[in-house]
Amino acid sequence: MASSLPISIRADQQPERLDQCRRCALWEAATQAVPGSGPHRAPLMVIGEQPGDQEDLQGKPFVGPAGALLDSALAEAGVDRKQVYVTNAVKHFKWEPRGKRRLHKTPAQREVDACHYWIERELAEHDPTVVVALGATALKSVLQKSTVKLQASMGDAIEHDGRLVIATFHPSYALRAPDAGTRERVYRAIVEAFRHAHRLIEKHSK
């Protein structure tokens, strides 16, 4: 049956390069696709949701305010960001205009599913022992389960496809939560998730 979508947007395309990706429509409003960044063989992969305003402009993941919090949490957990492969479940910034600003919009599940193509390739290429999923979108993507709940998945590492997945909050929640107590609790949980990942990597490398 003929698709009602324009021929250029098809979730079954298999592009070789990220800048060719038309698996969903998000590329149209974004400045550029934002690839993951980090060493080729990284025992730890960190997956966020999608690039934000700064990441969209610079073409690098986690370089804005959420990235500063991520850096601080990694450092506090004793993890060197240079040793970590950092990426996002969705590679284009989804936003809506609000005055002169571009406000983040949560990606739809079909966009997360379309972009899982790239996560699969990154997992195969970088072969991490442990994946830390920052927030519900990343967790749904890495586990390929749209019904998974973030809070219920925190704590123990989840075995999935021969890797260990640790779920924690997204750094943006630690920045935006309405009260200081919640912001501190969320930040501590993110640090603890990285400590947990670090311990598991040490254990599995022996």
Question: What is the C-alpha separation between 102 and 94, in angstroms, rounded?
Answer: 9
Residues binding ligand URA: what is the number (CB under 6 A)? 13
Question: What is the C-alpha separation between 105 and 113, in angstroms, rounded?
Answer: 16
The DSSP secondary structure of 85-146, one letter per residue, reads EEEESS-S--EEEETTEEEE-PPPHHHHHHHHHHHHHHHHHH--SEEEEESHHHHHHHHT-T
153 counts as binding ligand URA under rule CB under 6 A:
no
**Please, which of residues 28-57 interact with ligand URA by CB under 6 A?**
48-52, 55
Question: Nearest distance from residue 60's CB to ligand URA, in Å?
Answer: 8
Question: Nearest distance from residue 6's CB to ligand URA, in Å?
Answer: 28
- Work out which of 24, 45, 46, 62 binds ligand URA, going by CB under 6 A: 62
- Work out which of 24, 42, 46, 66 binds ligand URA, going by CB under 6 A: 66
118 counts as binding ligand URA under rule CB under 6 A:
no
3-state SS of the chain: helix, strand, coil percent to 5?
45, 15, 40
- Residue numbers of the site for ligand URA (CB under 6 A)? 48-52, 55, 61-62, 64, 66-67, 88, 172
